[in-house]
Amino acid sequence: MVLTNSVMKFYKFINHGFSSRSIDGTYFSTTEYWENSLMIQLSLYLIGIGTIQKVCVYLFYERILGKLIDDPTFALPYWNWDHPKGMRLPPMFDRETTPLYDARRNPHVRNGTIIDFSSPRDEVITDVGQTVTNNLTLMYRSMITNAACPLQFFGARYVLGNNDSKGQGTIENIPHTPVHIWAGTVRNTDLGGGKLSLGEDMGNFYSAALDPIFYCHHANVDRMWKVWKGLGGKRRDIIDPDWLNSEFFFYDENKNPYRVRVGDCLDTKKMGYDYAPAAIPWVNCRPTRKGREGKVDVTNIKPANKVFPIANLNKPIFVFHQ
């Protein structure tokens, strides 16, 4: 991740310039602009990790922030936790003297600790190399093995009148959610004022966006969407009309309201942004079958009729019971 002046200015706005927060995550706005525009973007951004994220972050959110900091070239960096070099909190977010630091993060994530996608809540003592290998294998499963079609990758269909959620997609299950849990405060620890932690900030839905790393995390989730579609097969966007024709309302950087259709927001280049090519080593990390160590070798075991020749009994067997 490259830290630009515009990114630093953005995080100063988020942490100091425009709002302060209470212990329960409530924002106290200091400008009408924040109330009418940026806060709406943030609220909708928290709804999910799909198209709303694309529209909110890249079509409007970046433009709003670019205007606030007078930098039309502003762009959010992404946190490439899918690569071995990115499987730790980026150092620029671990500097206590900068607005990128969040004191409510789990202290275990500091100082270059490798994230464990399989056990984000536990401080499991595992060889670093093995943890990285496990993460790459889990990425392969989430992006390839278990995500051969849209409903596997995005999750089950959920529409008005359907109160039975049939499951989340692979991208939300791993790695999206483990990254949130990993960076959040240890649950039930004291936050002060008699309040116990519920995983704040990143580890709870209501407070996740209070940690600056949230935005870079979700930028990489969006990147995974594009990468997934490039893997071939049946990996393509959903074609359900209910989804394609869904609409949401947003405000642009000039406070003008816009109605946005989902089907018009699936091509990143048409939305004015793209991701530079980057290595995806997990694509070659297909899980291997477990070895035969510890299993019984049955090749030299004699057939049952050779060991216990029941068929050769030529007289009755009497069993006495007392």
The reply to whether 89 falls in a domain is yes
Count the domains in the chain.
1
The reply to whether 211 falls in a domain is yes
The CA–CA distances, whole Å, from 90 to 58, 86, 113, 124 equal: 22, 7, 10, 21
pLDDT given at position 46: 34
CA–CA dist 256, 250 (Å, integer): 8
In the chain, what percentage of residues exceed pLDDT 90? 31
pLDDT given at position 66: 85
Q: Quick one: average pLDDT of 212-218? A: 88
The CA–CA distances, whole Å, from 45 to 31, 256, 308, 318 equal: 20, 18, 70, 80
Positive/negative CA dihedral, 65, 66, 71, 73: positive
Closest by CA position to 121, among listed 195, 179, 201, 170 = 179
- CATH at residue 231: 1.10.1280.10
CA–CA dist 231, 234 (Å, integer): 9
The CA–CA distances, whole Å, from 132 to 103, 105, 282 equal: 26, 22, 10
The CA–CA distances, whole Å, from 41 to 33, 112, 167 equal: 12, 32, 26
The CA–CA distances, whole Å, from 71 to 6, 75, 214, 322 equal: 7, 9, 21, 97
Q: What are phi and psi of 186, to 5 degrees?
A: -60, 125
Task: Label residue 313 by pLDDT band (50, 70, 90).
Answer: low
pLDDT given at position 315: 62
Yes or no: say if 93 and 79 are a contact pair by the CB < 8 Å rule.
no
CA–CA dist 156, 239 (Å, integer): 13
Task: Label residue 174 by pLDDT band (50, 70, 90).
Answer: very high
The CA–CA distances, whole Å, from 141 to 9, 145, 169, 171 equal: 38, 5, 12, 10
The reply to whether 299 falls in a domain is no
Q: Quick one: average pLDDT of 132-142? A: 96
In the chain, what percentage of residues exceed pLDDT 70? 70
- pLDDT higher than 90, residue 280: yes
Q: Quick one: average pLDDT of 149-167? A: 79
The reply to whether 308 falls in a domain is no
The reply to whether 49 falls in a domain is yes
Better-scored residue on pLDDT, 54 or 208: 208
The reply to whether 153 falls in a domain is yes
pLDDT given at position 215: 84
Closest by CA position to 117, among listed 156, 88, 85 = 88
- What residue numbers bound the domain in which 241 lies? 5-288
The reply to whether 119 falls in a domain is yes
The reply to whether 304 falls in a domain is no
Which residues, in sequence order, are bridge partners of residue 29?
19
Q: Which one-letter amino acid corresponds to residue 80?
A: N
Task: Label residue 179 by pLDDT band (50, 70, 90).
Answer: very high
